[in-house]
């Protein structure tokens, strides 16, 4: 475990200038906000383009969703190597320029009457590759742009914009689809990505040149991939955050499969009531992201991780106890969703800050990529598990089992030394 220093005086922590006084960070925030909104619009509009413009079947829409996420398994680890070898700002700009060009082809093909489901598969996969590269580069870039003491505030600000995009993006996409048709609405995402490219490109701070690794060719790339995997699984804090994310994603994807059936079939909720339940996530995301940067100053990083993870994960089994379809049931589900979202986002921001602080700059890309690869790679297993449980024990039983699985994600945390981290970020590990 990295060493920590004594808690600094409260006055010293409050005396730091705001991260918003960093002009380059503000440009990054604007760029990532535009990118997040673009991602929400495209995630909404691409499947609708398949359904409304191409009359795609349910199986084809499902395959499209899988193809878009396939790059997390296929290219994440190699994206991490690329991020550690090259200028991260340039990679972020290139990734969003790639997404803008790829998605811009959708309305063009539509106007030329050439758009088909095969084109959507190809363009969706390419956009997914760019998404993976952008996500990994963005997580690795922030520690180069702000001081270590500002990582929590920076991640909190970026998390707030991501939450705002999660809330407003689908609604904006729905309006655009209604006004412009789904294929043309994708063009709005393309324009938003260009806004991201412009702002990221305007960042003035130059990055240090990457240290020569001596790794060239396929053999060298594979050696660097193995190095990233080794660093993550040999270091307790990095291993803990990765295992927690994996357990959480297995449980969450399984829960999603059964929850969407549990609400209408078991509780008898109407479409409007289901909308209210799901809408409670949005304010929770926003509140959690806004306060995530402040909690470690008051509680310390270890306590913040433990409290936020405990509330977010242990509140979920209450869903299985809800009966009936009246106002009480809807209100209870809304409260659970709000607590889950707000404390969950606060936990994610804190975990990310710890991970960035202890990772040497030369490994930021590969550590972020390994975390994404392992955490996202298990998601299909969770979806399969949810379907099997729903058939085997019924929807209520499946909801209970999958939500109890959230609690299992706490075990790696409470048994690690991470919970003892005070107000000061731990030092980087040895590369």
Domains 1-203 and 226-431 share a fold: yes
Cα dihedral 409→252→121→139 (10° resolution): -40
CA nearest 103: which of 29, 13, 194?
A: 194
1-203: CATH number:
1.20.1250.20
The DSSP string of 161-205 is HHHHHHHHHHHHHHHHHHHH-HHHHHHHHHHHHHHHHHHHHT--P
DSSP letter assigned to residue 210: P
Which pLDDT score is estimated for 346? 93
Alpha-carbon distances of 2 from 214, 242, 355, 358, rounded to whole Å: 27, 17, 11, 7
Q: Which two structure tokens, joined as six digits, stand for 422?
A: 């005070």
Is residue 355 exposed (0-12), middle (13-18) or buried (19+ Cβ within 10 Å)?
buried
Residue 259's nearest CA partner among 405, 373, 376, 160 is: 405
The domain over range 226-431 is classified in CATH as 3.40.190.10: no
Look up residue 146 and give its DSSP letter.
S
Domain ranges of the chain: 1-203, 226-431
Give the Cα separation of 385 and 381 in Å (integer).
6
Q: What's residue 210's pLDDT?
A: 65
The total of other beta-carbon atoms located within 10 Å of residue 5's CB is 11
pLDDT per residue rounded down to tens, the chain (431 residues) = 444 444 444 444 455 678 888 999 999 999 999 999 999 888 888 888 888 888 888 678 878 877 888 888 889 999 999 999 999 999 999 999 999 999 999 999 999 999 999 999 999 999 999 999 999 999 999 999 998 888 988 999 998 888 888 778 877 887 888 888 888 889 999 999 999 999 999 999 888 776 665 566 778 888 999 999 999 999 999 999 999 999 998 898 889 888 888 999 899 988 788 878 888 888 898 899 888 888 998 999 999 999 999 999 999 999 999 998 889 999 999 999 999 999 999 999 999 999 999 999 989 999 999 998 888 878 778 878 888 888 889 999 999 999 999 999 999 999 998 999 988 888 888 76
**Residue for token pair 């998404």:** 131
- Do residues 366 and 222 lie in contact, with contact meaning Cβ atoms separated by under 8 Å? no
DSSP 264: I
Nearest in space to 120 (alpha carbons), one of 133, 111, 134, 107: 107
- What dihedral angle (degrees, nearest 10) is formed by the CA atoms of 46, 49, 54, 55? 100
Q: How far is CA 12 from the centre of its chain?
A: 32
Residue with tokens 């994708």: 186
Closest to 119 in 3D by CA, of 131, 133, 107, 132: 107
Rg of the chain on CA atoms, in Å: 22
Q: What is the largest CA-CA distance in the chain?
A: 66
Q: DSSP class of residue 50?
A: I
CA angle 227, 85, 3 (to 5 degrees): 55
- 55: nearest Cα among 188, 182, 186: 182
């Amino acid at each position: 475990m990295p060493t920590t220093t004594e808690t600094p005086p409260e006055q010293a922590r409050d005396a730091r200038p705001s991260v918003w006084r960093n002009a380059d960070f503000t440009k990054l925030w604007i760029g990532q906000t535009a990118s997040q909104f673009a991602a929400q619009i495209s995630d909404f509009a691409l499947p609708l383009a398949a359904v409304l413009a191409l009359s795609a079947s349910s199986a084809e829409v499902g395959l499209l969703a899988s193809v878009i996420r396939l790059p997390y398994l296929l290219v994440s680890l190699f994206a991490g190597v690329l991020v550690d070898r090259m200028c991260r700002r340039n990679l972020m700009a290139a990734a969003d320029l790639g997404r803008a060009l790829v998605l811009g082809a959708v309305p063009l093909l539509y106007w030329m009457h050439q758009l088909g489901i095969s084109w959507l598969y190809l363009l969706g996969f390419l956009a997914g590759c760019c998404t993976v590269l952008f996500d990994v580069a963005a997580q690795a870039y922030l520690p180069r742009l702000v001081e270590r003491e500002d990582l929590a505030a920076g991640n909190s600000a970026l998390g707030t914009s991501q939450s705002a995009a999660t809330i407003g993006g689908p609604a904006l996409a729905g309006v655009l689809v209604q006004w412009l048709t789904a294929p043309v609405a994708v063009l709005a995402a393309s324009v938003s990505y260009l806004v991201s490219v412009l702002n990221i490109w305007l960042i003035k701070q130059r990055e240090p040149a990457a240290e020569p690794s001596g790794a060239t060719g396929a053999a060298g790339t594979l050696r660097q991939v193995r190095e990233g995997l080794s660093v993550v699984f040999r270091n307790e804090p990095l291993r803990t955050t990765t295992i927690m994310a994996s357990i959480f994603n297995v449980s969450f994807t399984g829960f999603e499969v059964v929850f969407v059936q549990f609400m209408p079939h078991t509780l008898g909720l109407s479409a409007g009531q289901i909308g209210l339940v799901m809408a409670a996530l949005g304010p929770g995301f926003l509140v959690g992201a806004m306060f995530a940067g402040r909690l470690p100053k008051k509680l310390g990083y270890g306590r913040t991780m433990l409290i936020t993870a405990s509330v977010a994960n242990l509140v979920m089994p209450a869903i299985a106890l809800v009966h009936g379809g009246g106002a009480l049931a809807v209100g209870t589900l809304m409260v659970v969703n709000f607590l889950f979202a707000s404390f969950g986002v606060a936990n994610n921001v804190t975990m990310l800050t710890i991970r960035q602080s202890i990772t040497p700059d030369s490994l930021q890309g590969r550590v972020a990529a390994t975390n994404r690869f392992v955490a996202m790679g298990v998601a299909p297993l969770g979806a399969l598990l949810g379907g099997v449980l729903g058939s085997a024990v019924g929807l209520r039983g499946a909801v209970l089992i999958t939500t109890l699985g959230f609690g299992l994600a706490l075990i790696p945390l409470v048994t690690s030394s991470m919970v003892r981290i005070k107000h000061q970020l731990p030092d980087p590990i040895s590369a």
